[in-house]
Amino acid sequence: MRLRTKIVLTYIAVAVFGIALASFVSSWQLKNYLNRRTMAQVTAEVQTLADVVPGQAFWPDSTGAGAERLRRIAKTLGLRLTLIRKDGTVLFDSTIPRDSLAAMENHAHRPEILRAQSGRVGTDRRLSASVNEEFLYAAMRIADERAGELDSGYVRGALNITEIETLDAQVQTIIWIVGLLTIGLITVVSLKLSTRISEPILRIASTAKAIKEGDVRQRVPVTSADEIGDLAKAINEMAEKLGNDITQLRKLERVRSEFLGNVSHELRTPIFSVQGFLETLLDGAVDDPSVNRDFLEKAHKHANRLNALLNDLIDISRIESGEMKMSYRYFPVLEFLQQIVDEMKSVAERKDLRLTLVPSVDESERVFGDRERLHQVMTNLFDNAVKYTDIGGSITCSVERDGPWCVIRVSDTGCGIGPEHQARIFERFYRVDKDRSRDVGGTGLGLAIVKHIVEAHGGTITVSSTVGTGSVFTVRLKR
């Protein structure tokens, strides 16, 4: 056999091995990636159900309304949802009829339940004995406040992985088909075009290896418009998509971690405060008329703040998940704003604040949007203006037309916002002055909700402010 033929065949063998290896590794990585991402999704959704929503809201009632609500939740999340008592009795399963629950096996020794006993999320993957399908399971302990217990059962989510396995098999098939087609192409043309083909293949193998090892910045030079060039483009697109996915996952993980940390911090303060006041009262202060009412009022204040925070968290969750549906209508903007000004006047007068509506449009001017949600937006802006404007100041609401936009401005003569804070005040839990924000009752979510609602209307909200002079919030909505 001639040396050149040996070299060509060697190149072919190397190329065949490289593509087969890349296909195998890509297939393996894809399967692991899908499994990890799916498990992370199920875990996050179970944590949300167990941590954010009170335990008693989950338990089915005798009317069946609770069970129907749980089935809607399960359908929305795309999960099989199960509620399990501490002793392992199944109270609810979104895929099992209510009258068949008694026949289900006791779940106390299910792997995910045993792992969830430590207070963390317990996970498992197996074939379900009740529906004979393979699921990813995630369970977390919850508390039922009605029972007065701290460990009354578990909420468990299960995701059917049949579709994921099918997708994985299809993608793996595509990967292997592409690999085999490429091997066949190289085998046919390599004897005549060994130099032209071997070098790009080696570059592709090298880049694929770098991508496999985590260097997703690597790209294959595209030097031709043939199949090798197409393969190079495909690998580059795969690397680009993989890099974007990794960046997005890191960003989502960071946002989720920051959000959970902020929620935990914000919830801890009112809960500990209420707990402290109640413990003091139970230790004997309840019989002391000089302090008992004061302690109860303070506990009630913190309970109200906790309720407001939970309501804002629910609003944020509904907006971001798309559950908050908007009812868009045309309605008169002046009548709408005058109603809000009238509602806020009594609050403003307590601080001797002048509240004025300055229209630059006639009464027929209309705006397009969900009146209830925009009422929430404007009330929040007025409420913030009242809170951060000192006694004797003024608050002005103006409205004008700007082409296809209706521009509403809420101006105040308050303390103002520093330039270093203005770009971040619409972030969740961001506070310019943390101590004062808590004193005036803010949850840190109001402006984030305002921004979400305005952007859902296709509009914008901006702020301009000078410390010591005041602030102007500008909302632009479609006419």
Instruction: Give the residue extent of every domain in the chain.
Output: 53-160, 329-478
Q: Is 369 helix (H, G, I), strand (E, B) or coil?
A: strand
**Per-residue pLDDT averaged across 231-249, rounded?**
78
Which of 232-266 are b and which e, b meaning 16 or more Cβ less than 10 Å from the residue's Cβ?
A: beebbeebeebeeeeeeeeeeeeeeeeeeebbeeb
pLDDT at 475: 95
Instruction: Look at phi and psi of residue 392 and say left if phi exceeds 0, alpha if psi is from -120 to 50, else beta.
Output: left
Q: In this model, does residue 83 exceed pLDDT 50?
A: yes
The span from the CA of 374 to the CA of 453, in Å, is 7
Q: In this model, does residue 435 exceed pLDDT 70?
A: no
Superfamily of domain 329-478, CATH level 4: Histidine kinase-like ATPase, C-terminal domain (3.30.565.10)
Q: Which H or E run includes 167? A: helix 162-189
**Higher-pLDDT residue of 331, 177:** 331
Give the C-alpha distances (Å, rounded to integers) separating 109 from 88, 92, 297: 8, 17, 46
Q: Give the tens place of pLDDT for each residue, 346-384.
A: 889 889 999 999 988 888 899 999 998 899 899 989 988
Query: Sign of dihedral through CA atoms 64, 70, 74, 77?
Result: positive
**Per-residue pLDDT averaged across 161-178, rounded?**
75
Query: Sign of dihedral through CA atoms 263, 265, 266, 269?
Result: positive
Task: For the full predicted model, state whether its pTM sits above 0.85.
Answer: no
In CATH terms, is domain 53-160 a member of 3.50.50.60? no
Most confident option among 191-195, 308-312, 394-398:
394-398
* φ, ψ (nearest 5 deg) of residue 140: -145, 145
pLDDT at 356: 92
**With pLDDT > 90 as the criterion, what percentage of the chain qualifies?**
19
What DSSP character marks residue 222?
-
**Per-residue pLDDT averaged across 435-456, rounded?**
73
Q: In this model, does residue 147 exceed pLDDT 50?
A: no
pLDDT at 4: 47
Residue 459: pLDDT band with limits 50, 70, 90: very high
**Per-residue pLDDT averaged across 263-286, rounded?**
74
| Residue 400: burial class (beta carbons within 10 Å; 0-12, 13-18, 19+) | middle
The span from the CA of 309 to the CA of 306, in Å, is 5
Helix axes 446-456, 292-321, angle to 10 degrees: 30
Q: In this model, does residue 146 exceed pLDDT 60?
A: no
Residue whose pair of structure tokens reads 């909200």 in the numeric block: 461
Q: Give the tens place of pLDDT for each residue, 2-12.
A: 434 565 677 66
Residue whose pair of structure tokens reads 């105040």 in the numeric block: 412
* φ, ψ (nearest 5 deg) of residue 354: -90, 120
* Order of strands, sheet of 470-478, starting from the edge strand that comes earlier in the sequence: 354-359, 394-402, 405-412, 470-478, 460-466
- Per the prediction, the chain carries an average pLDDT of 79
**Which tokens hold the place of 166?**
């099918």
pLDDT at 234: 83
The span from the CA of 425 to the CA of 464, in Å, is 11
Residue 443: pLDDT band with limits 50, 70, 90: low
